[in-house]
Amino acid sequence: MTLVYHRILVAVDGSQEAEAAFKKSIGIAKRNKAILNIIHVIDLRGHTPVRLHEPYLEDAAFRYGQNLLEDYKKEALVAGVSEVNVYAVPGSPKKVISRDYAKQLQADLIVCGAQGLNALEYFLIGSVSTNIVRSSPCDVLVVRLDGPKKKAERETIRYE
């Protein structure tokens, strides 16, 4: 049985991990002749105290997101993806991507990058990709910049 994806949702934030996820989603969309939906979630919760003094920060965050999305859209169309939609939306990426937009767009695949968090960061803020995997209504592909290290490389002990 071959699994075919029709509506792909890829999350981008400007990071290298998101760039890798985007590139992977182009190939999947082309192979499946799928619609590629690209989302950039603007999380302004951390800017609330500053926003009172600098209201232009919210506008700047949305402009950055819209520019990022337009660049990605152009790249996907040039690469041969037939239909590309972009979404710059406010909110928490952990909720908006898998709970809201995946359902709204009837996505059958979410593609996102894996952020390399250390144990303390993961404990304090959690991982967006982990949350997407746990709450997604569809398949999820988490793309890593560096694949898993070979077992031999991890276990090599050097004596000098």
Q: What is the reported pLDDT for 55?
A: 60
Give pTM, 2 decimals: 0.80
Instruction: Give the mean pLDDT of 22-51.
Output: 85
**Which among 29, 38, 9, 19 is positioned nearest to 98, based on CA atoms?**
9
Q: What angle do CA 27, 142, 44 make, to 5 degrees?
A: 105
Task: Write the pLDDT tens digit of every residue in 88-111.
Answer: 999 988 889 998 999 999 999 999
Nearest to 134 by CA among 104, 149, 112, 117: 112
Tell me the two tokens of residue 22: 């985007």
Distance CA 98, CA 109 (A): 10
pLDDT higher than 70, residue 62: yes
Q: Which two tokens stand for residue 27?
A: 């190939």
Domains of the chain by range and CATH?
7-155 (3.40.50.620)
Cα 146 to Cα 13, 98, 135, 143, 150, distances in angstroms: 18, 24, 25, 9, 11
Summarize the confidence of residues 57-80 as an average pLDDT: 93
**Which residue has better confidence, 57 or 148?**
57
Higher pLDDT, 1 or 118: 1
